[in-house]
Amino acid sequence: MTPQSSQHGSPLPGLPEPDPQTGAAVKAADRAHVFHSWSAQDLIDPLAVAGAQGSYFWDYEGNRFLDFSSGLVFTNIGYQHPKVVAAIQEQAGRLATFAPAFAVEARSEAARLIAERTPGDLDKIFFTNGGAEAVENAVRMARVHTGRTKVLSAYRSYHGSTAAAINLTGDPRRWASDNGSAGVVRFWAPFLYRTPFYAENEAQECERALAHLESTIAYEGPQAIAAIILETIPGTAGIMTPPPGYLQGVREVCDRYGIVFILDEVMAGFGRAGTWFAADLYDVVPDLMTFAKGVNSGYVPLGGVAISGKIAETFAKRPYPGGLTYSGHPLA
């Protein structure tokens, strides 16, 4: 993030006048009462943000910053998009909130629009408040659907910070919470830059990574494995695009052993990979797909699980054992 200002610290055109006094008050209240994620609280110094527009935000000193990280990798369309702001205002005036057990126009339309864009037959949408909750529910669906308990996830992965999601995470951020990982087994996904398989090219990396995965399944017992979860393109643990053929190979392995294939598209979905979903780049259709972040660029918290026909059929006559107070929140 690069600060920009004119000489002598005066505000750039279009920015409000600097207001250091308000900025100091915002910072003081933050330091007194806000508990920040992933941080040693006394060692951080959060910037007080006065506003944002498009790809930029600014502080109370009159400095403007170009946000190369799109917030926390979610503001795909930038800040304060006028069409989205207007839609939020309109929906708040019409029906700001309602319980999830009813059919509500905004919820139904959002589900229809998402289902039109998901690959294959992922036509049922379970709404959550974010990506971690989406992963939690996708894993629960897979376990109930298969009657199995184990879930395989990759090292160098991140799936969220709630109970199951953090244990599925493969990078070291899970260590402090790694006491609820019963049923989680990890494996090495392809990563040619630091290949764990001593591969010399992408084809070797793909072949050896799939052989390693299948060996892991054999020794863990395929009859005990409910799901394999992968980020289609890993995100915060390192941007590592899979080699050609790898995801199709995982799909084939899952089909052979009756394992549910979950793709985590929380970060890569809704245009960040250049297509609606990164799965479209690899011509693969999972059984369950999680999404959040770019679905509405974070303007109101929203995530979800896109569900295939065979998983949805499991819960046609059998209640799904899960739910959220704000599932399909009309404003989101």
Question: What does the pLDDT read at residue 236?
Answer: 86
Does one domain contain both 235 and 306?
A: yes
Domain total of the chain = 2
pLDDT at 157 over 60: yes
Q: What does the pLDDT average to over 8-15?
A: 54
Does one domain contain both 117 and 58?
A: no
CATH of the domain at 30: 3.90.1150.10
Instruction: Provide the Cα torsion 124, 127, 133, 134; round to 10°.
Output: 30
Residue 325 lies inside a defined structural domain of this protein = no
Question: What does the pLDDT read at residue 180?
Answer: 62
Does one domain contain both 98 and 64?
A: no
Residue 106 lies inside a defined structural domain of this protein = yes
Does one domain contain both 309 and 168?
A: yes
Does one domain contain both 64 and 180?
A: no
Q: What does the pLDDT average to over 83-104?
A: 97
Does one domain contain both 30 and 100?
A: no
Q: What does the pLDDT average to over 317-324?
A: 95
Count of other CB atoms within 10 angstroms of residue 112: 11
Question: What does the pLDDT read at residue 172?
Answer: 80
Q: For the chain, give the percent of residues with pLDDT over 70.
A: 94
Q: Which two tokens stand for residue 44?
A: 């951080």
Question: What does the pLDDT read at residue 261?
Answer: 98
CA angle 203, 209, 210 (to 5 degrees): 95
Summarised one tens digit per residue, pLDDT across range 253-312 is 999 999 999 999 999 999 999 999 999 999 999 999 999 999 999 999 999 999 999 999
Tell me how far apart the alpha carbons of residues 214 and 210 are, in angstroms, rounded to a whole number: 6
Phi, psi of 154 (to 5 degrees): -95, 150
Does one domain contain both 100 and 50?
A: no
Residue 272 lies inside a defined structural domain of this protein = yes
Summarised one tens digit per residue, pLDDT across range 217-255 is 999 999 999 999 999 999 888 888 999 999 999 999 999
Does one domain contain both 296 and 149?
A: yes
Question: What does the pLDDT read at residue 13?
Answer: 57
Residue 45 lies inside a defined structural domain of this protein = yes
Q: What does the pLDDT average to over 162-171?
A: 80
Residue 141 lies inside a defined structural domain of this protein = yes
pLDDT at 42 over 70: yes
pLDDT band at 163 (very low <50, low <70, confident <90, very high): confident
Does one domain contain both 34 and 153?
A: no
Question: What does the pLDDT read at residue 56?
Answer: 97
pLDDT at 4 over 80: no
Residue 251 lies inside a defined structural domain of this protein = yes
Question: What does the pLDDT read at residue 178?
Answer: 65
Residue 326 lies inside a defined structural domain of this protein = no
Reported pTM: 0.92
Taking the mean position of all CA atoms in its chain, how far away is CA 294?
9
**Tokens 């999680």 found at:** 290
Structural domain span for residue 44: 2-68
CATH of the domain at 108: 3.40.640.10
Does one domain contain both 156 and 103?
A: yes
Does one domain contain both 229 and 167?
A: yes
Does one domain contain both 247 and 194?
A: yes
Q: Which two tokens stand for residue 156?
A: 């160098």
Question: What does the pLDDT read at residue 119?
Answer: 97
